Amino acid sequence: ADALDAAACTTWVREFARLVHEQRDALTQLDAAIGDADHGSNLDRGLTAAVSALDAASPASPAAVLAMVATTLIRTVGGASGPLYGTFFLRAAGALDGGDRAALAAALRAGLDGVASRGKAAPGDKTMLDALSPACDALDEALAQGRPLDEALRAAAEAAARGRDATVPMVARKGRASYLGERSAGHQDPGATSAALLVEAAATALAG
């Protein structure tokens, strides 16, 4: 049940792609309020391409799956979120060693740290980090308590959703939304919303 193999990682990416496709218009509406109305279409295009690339190549290792997703996102998604999600998957791939539950937590943490350093952002800046960071903390805490992986991932997904909701009153300090200053408050961040889908997809796909 703890095996984080290439098939499990592919299932995770497919589920993320499915959720983003389903929520594409909602993500774009959120970006219309405080950005340039392309977050849903950006990510849907990138993840559709990533799934096609995985279908065509069937990478053999979990790290190769995540690295292929990263390079596809960087190549196909213009805008801030392509390089940032690309960095997330590339760093996660680099840390994904061993294929057990500890490796998964380490990979998510490495992805989070990569997004933070690439985007020069921190939690509280009203970005995808506001969903990813509490998710990593909740996952680490649940695993440290010895809870089973499916419960730990469920706790991570719930923490990501709360983090997403908590972006509503925040004033954006990074990305396009920051150009609005105080007027960015009162709107949910699109990137935090898609990042919550990423963690939700992990809970669905990797619970094994």
Cα(147)–Cα(171) distance, integer angstroms: 35
Which of 115, 136, 138, 166 binds ligand ADP (CB under 6 A)? It is 115
Nearer Cβ to ligand ADP (107/112): 112
Is-contact 174 117, C-beta < 8 A? Answer: no
Q: Which does 104 bind (CB under 5 to 8 A by kind): Mg ion, ligand ADP, none?
A: none
Residues 180-199, interacting with ligand ADP (CB under 6 A)? 189-192
Which of 12, 19, 20, 31 binds ligand ADP (CB under 6 A)? It is 31
In the block, tokens 């970005």 appear at: 127
In the block, tokens 């949910």 appear at: 188
DSSP state of 90: H
100 is an interface residue for Mg ion by CB under 5 A: no
Residue nearest ligand ADP by beta-carbon distance: 191
- CB count within 10 Å of CB 145 equals 10
Using DSSP's 3-state secondary structure scheme, residue 47 falls into helix
Cα(126)–Cα(168) distance, integer angstroms: 8
State the residues that interact with ligand ADP by CB under 6 A.
31, 35-36, 38-39, 42, 79-81, 84, 115, 119-121, 127-129, 174-176, 189-192
State the residues that interact with Mg ion by CB under 5 A.
31, 35-36, 38-39, 79
